[in-house]
Each structure stands twice: as C-alpha cells, then as structure tokens.
Amino acid sequence: MDINIALKKYFGFDSFRKGQEEVISRIVSGVSAAAIFPTGAGKSLCYQLPAMLLPHLTLVVSPLLSLMKDQLDFLLSNNIPAARLDSTLTGEQYNKIITRAVRSELKILMVSVERFKNERFRNKLREIDVSLLVIDEAHCISEWGHNFRPEYLRLPDYQKEFGIKNTLLLTATATEQVTFDMCRRFNIDSENVITTGFYRDNLFLNITPVRDAEKKEKLLSDIGNAPDDPTIVYVTLQKTAEETASYLAANQINAAAYHGGMKNEERTDIQNRFMNGSIACVVATIAFGMGIDKNNIRRVIHFDLPKSIENYSQEIGRAGRDGKPAACVVYGNKRNLSILENFIYGDTPDREAIFQLLKEIKENGKLWETKLIGLSRDLNIRILPLKTLLVYLSIEKIIEPKYTYFEEYTFKYLINPKEIIEQFKDERKQFVQTILENCHSKKVWTTVDIGTICSVYQTERQRVLNALDYFYEKQWIDLHAGQAVEVYQVLNHSFDPELLTDNIYRLFREKEKTEIQRIHNMIRFFESDSCISKELASYFGEKLEIEKCDHCSFCSQGRMRLVSEDELKGLSELDNLHKLSEIKSLLGPLGTSGNLAKFLCGLNTPLITRLRAKKLPGFGFLEKYPFKEVQNWIESQADCSVSSQCPEAYTHERSESQ
C-alpha cells in the first residue's frame, strides 16, 4: 500500500509533516534509519505508520511509562492493535498481551529496555517475529548524550540476539557527536539520518535576570497576565515545586505541583487534569513532560535553571505545538547553580565502593550473581551510576551480563492441582506431578522450589519455567515472580583491584567533568552575545541563514547577564558544623568525606534512604554550597577523623548486611 494512502486510512491525515515521509519510506523498504526531529514534530508516526505496513511486530523501546501511555492511548484511539508491558499490569493482563503478540495479533508492543533481561519475556520473544526495533529517546544510547542510560548500550546486542533486522532511532535532542555515536552502534548510514532542524519561529526565547528573592513575585506577575493559559513551570527541587505551587494557588492561580516524590496515582491525576484543562499551571521537576502531547501550551517558564542545553531544548519544545506564539522564559539566576552541579557529584561513587565491588567480583567464581537494589544499598551507590559501573566493567572485559532470573516464583491455584496433573499423560504427567509435589502452599499463595524440582527430576530450570508459564497461559494458576537476580559471567579474575579501581574511578570523574561542563556551556548560551534562536539551532548542528530571529530576548533587548547573588558565608563561619562528628557517627562505617558531603549538600543516597537521614538535623544544610568545596572542608577538619580511604568499612558493612 502507498504510504500516503495508508496515512489517510489509518490515521486520517492528509499529508506528512516535514521529514516523516523520508523516514517512513526508508523503514517500509527495509532500511534502518534515524529521525532527529524537535519535540512535538511527529517522531512517533515514523514507526506507527510503518507498523501497519510491515509483516510482523514493531517492538518499541521507551524509557518512561508516561511516554508509553500517551502513545498507546493515541494508537488505540485510531484502532491500531497495540499494547505495552510495564510493572502496572496484573498477571492476567500481561498474559493476554504476550499471547496476542505470539499469535501475531499485535502490530506494536512497547517495552522498557529492562524488559529484555526478564527471562520469561526473553523466552516468549523468541517465539515472536519482529520486523522493526524502535528506540525512542535514542540519545540515551550515547555516553555523550545528556541522559545516558547504561542499559541502552546493550540494545545492539539484543537486536542481534533476537534476529531483528531493522532499527529506527528517534530523538529530539542529539548533537552531531551524539547522532554519530548512536548511529554507529546500529550501523545506520549517514544518508539514512533525517534531521528536520530545531528552529521554531513561534517560540519567543526570553532570558530574564531575576534575583532569587524576587522570583515568586515575578512568576505570579507573568502568569497573572493570562492566568488561564496552559503553563509549565520547571524547578530543580521537589520542595520548590510544592512551595511554588502553594504560593500560586494562594494567589488565585489554578496551579498544582508535580514531582518524582509523589505517588503514581497523584502524578497521573495531575497530568490528566492538565491535559484536559482543569489545571492551568503545573509546577514541576523534570519528572513532568516526557510524552506530554498538549498542543496549546502557551508558556514554559524555567523558575530554576535547566540541567543542560539539551534539557532546555526538550522542555521548551512542549510549548506552542499548535504553531501559535508561545513564551519560553528563563529566570536567569546563578543562586542555585551549585545545586545543579551537586546532583552530578552525587552520582559519582566513592572510590572505596568501587574497590569493594571489584574485590567481591575477583573473589567470586565463574558466575557472579547479584541483586542490584541490595548491591546499591550495601555499596551506597545510586542505581543508575551502579548500572553505569557494571557497563564499564563489561567494556573492560571483566564481566559479561548473561541474563536476569527471578529468585522466587509464587502462584495461586485457580483450579484444583489434581485437575492440572490429569491434563497430561506419561512422562509429562510425572514431570508436572513432581513440580506440584515440590511446591509449598500456604493459605493463598504457593512457593515453587525450583532447585529441588531440578534435582529430583534431573531437569533444567528452563523446563520448569516453561511448565509454569504454560499453566499460567491456560489460566490454571496466577503466577508471580519476584527477587530479580542479575547473572554475570566473570571473564577475568587476574585484574589488579587497586589499579582497575583507579581506572574506573577516573572514568566517573571524567563523566562528572563532562556533565559539569555541560552546565557551564548552558550558562554561556544564556549569556550569549548573539541571537539565542540561532545559537540553539547551531548547537544541534543546524545552520540558520538569518542573523536575527526577532523573537528572542537578545534580538529585542541585547545580551543578558544572569544574576549573581551575594557571596555565601565561608564554611568556617557557619554554625552547627561542629556536629560533623555526630553525623559521621550516624553514617557509621560509610561515613567517608564524600558521603558526609552528600548528606550536608542534601543529596539522597541509598545509605541516607536506609537511615531515613533526610529527616535528621543537618541534611541539606549546605545545599547551596559547591559539593567539592564542602568535601575539601570536611577532609581538612582534623577533629572529625574523616577518611576518604576506608575500604575495610565497606567490607564490614557488606558482611553485616549479608
């Protein structure tokens, strides 16, 4: 079918947007491609239409639940057979979706990248014919991208493992370097990279210097001019979102807060109310916005500085999708610059934690099994940098990820166990009987003893899982899996832990330096001495012929300088820091200078969560101070006895937790 006819038939559109036809024609002809379109420019159609024309399933990898939800709602509204797999599904819902995929009743299936490590999903995926692998937010593949996701690095391996011939990469925020990197990993030729440009003439880009104490009043004034205009206000901290939304609401502005600390149902309710217009203004951290397809947003206001030029571009891209004028305002203030930088420092593991992990791997056998949440807690490394660390070790050929299995399988009988056994004959009947005889039932749920079953029947784990899945598909049991265990093969036991620790730690410090530089590049961009629209387009590789856009603050008012607030007091002049030794005692054997600095700068870590230390006096006391300055000051305090080198503390902590 001609793609123009298909466009009208399946989606009711009369014509393509810029770039869509070029991408879609490549995909339907069996050529891998990349679509680099600005936010709101119609990237999703580049896989949605081909999915209806390709013979088999289109598998879409998406990083966020909200992205999947919005895209799925659109597809279902157009009667496209599509579904998503995520953690919100019941067992019955999951089973139905997988069954439809195996039976070729779905054209589009959306999953997270983590789903590829799930052994039950992997088993089923081998039974499914997949025509196209789509990677949304594809810049996450590149370490040079602004939102690097280490799991994404394995996607090229998954593509080969499951025999998926073609790939489509989608992103709105890729510099030339990032585009080259992500396309190289999937062998996509440059002539199959379609970039439509980032310049939008309906967005007024305004940099407004505002002192910190005056920002709320300025915000109220800006919104009060047109209080019903759909508006997103971006802030850095969750508490700022709450305080600012409350301030606006107290001044008769229909506003609500949105951040990652809220319950899922609360966030969903606020997003839905914003989409249907019953809330005019959302004050949010960057947890809000991915997948938001509301075309009449008239204002995007950065109450606090964004994290990077890429984040800024993505966030303002949500304004004015209807083509009408929209204001994109940044309250230019350097007061919270240290908070932005400190978030980056908070993701760098302590050197000692890296050393302890390497020591554990070296002392392990050929297969190393670990639970990421427990490992994160014990080493006090956040989950994302821990995954990055494991990717670094994979690149160094120390370990190789094999698979993820669930340590615990439980089920609830939906029919009598004798009825299940009677469904089979001969050897299969004996096998099923062995399974059910080696399960331990309580009042409702039954636990499967896979190890004993394998030992008694002399069979492989996989056969047991296949049987359980079969019972589940037949709706004889309601099956649940828990306690995910990551399995790695140890490729090299002969490495020097001290030397490799230094090398890996250096990689994290280099990444840290790159991310800090990204912030300072953003500051220079906002204080640019040329057209902001032109500078933004140039950052992403688009060369505009114009000298002035006439719809940015530089073109209307000239160069802007971000406000520098009064200097902070020196650390030695502050009260309460004499309690540093008490805080160190609270953190116990993990009380290194780095972890103490994270506590004082208000940076959450697994240890701080475990100790519920956010509620303790002193947490976040120095959140406006540069992390490195705080850490250096801690190390200079002779009476604190803080050491930045204490691997034996981690050994103690790990042995206690185990």
| DSSP assignment string, 627-655 | HHHHHHHHHH-GGGT--S--HHHHHHHHH
pLDDT of residue 391: 86
What are the phi and psi torsion angles at 546 (to 5°)? -80, 155
In a domain, 562, yes or no: no
**Residue 290 has what pLDDT?**
60
The last residue of a domain, from among 195, 220, 250? 195
Residues 430 and 460 in one domain: yes
Average pLDDT over residues 223-251: 94
Residue 67 has pLDDT above 80, yes or no: no
Among 99-103, 280-284, 436-440, 629-633, the range scoring the smallest mean pLDDT is: 629-633
Q: Do 536 and 602 sit in the same domain of this protein?
A: no
Task: pLDDT band for 286, please (50, 70, 90 cuts).
Answer: confident
Q: Are 560 and 554 in contact (CB under 8 A)?
A: yes
Domain end position, chosen among 139, 168, 195: 195
* Residue 162 within a domain: yes
| pLDDT score recorded for residue 608 | 82
What confidence category does residue 575 fall into, taking pLDDT thresholds of 50, 70 and 90?
A: low
Name the residue type at position 189. D
Exposure class string for 281-320: b at 16+ Cβ within 10 A, else e:
bbbbbbbbbbbbebeebbbbbbbbbbbbbbbbbbbbbbbb
Q: List the strands of the sheet with 193-195, edge to edge.
A: 82-84, 108-111, 57-61, 130-135, 166-171, 33-36, 193-195
Eight-class DSSP state of 153: G
Question: What own/partner pairs with CB < 8 Å and gap ≥ 24 does 41-45 have?
Answer: 41/17, 41/172, 41/196, 42/17, 43/136, 43/170, 43/171, 43/172, 44/71, 44/74, 44/136, 44/170, 45/11, 45/16, 45/17, 45/20
Answer with the residue of higher pLDDT: 278 or 652.
Answer: 278
475 in the same domain as 523: no
Domain presence at residue 345? no
* Overall domain count for the chain: 4
- Output the domain CATH number for residue 117: 3.40.50.300
Question: What's the mean pLDDT when you consider all of the chain?
Answer: 86
Residue 120 lies in a domain: yes
Q: How confident is the model at residue 653 (pLDDT cuts 50, 70, 90)?
A: very low
One domain for residues 407 and 458: yes
Query: Are 304 and 270 part of one and the same domain?
Result: yes
Q: Is the pLDDT of residue 368 over 60?
A: yes
Assess if residue 506 is contained within a domain: no
pTM score, whole prediction:
0.75
CB atoms within 10 A of CB 393: 24
* pLDDT tens readout for residues 600-609: 888 888 888 8
Task: Quickly state the pLDDT bin for 658 (edges 50, 70, 90).
Answer: very low
Same domain, 411 and 528: no
Q: Are residues 172 and 80 in the same domain?
A: yes
* Helix (H) / strand (E) containing 171: strand 166-171
The verdict on 482 and 548 lying in the same domain is no
Q: Which domain-ending residue is among 195, 229, 244? A: 195
Helix (H) or strand (E) holding 166: strand 166-171
Residue 541's domain spans which residues?
A: 203-340+515-557
The answer to the question of residue 121 being in a domain is yes
Range 425-431 average pLDDT: 93
| 156 belongs to a structural domain | yes
pLDDT in tens, 117-145: 777 788 889 999 999 999 998 988 886 66
User: 461 and 584: one domain?
Assistant: no
Residue 596 and residue 642 in contact, taking contact as beta carbons nearer than 8 Å: yes
Do 520 and 615 fall into the same domain?
no
pLDDT for the residue 652: 37
Q: Is residue 327 part of a domain?
A: yes
Same domain, 237 and 123: no
Same-domain status, 190 and 211? no
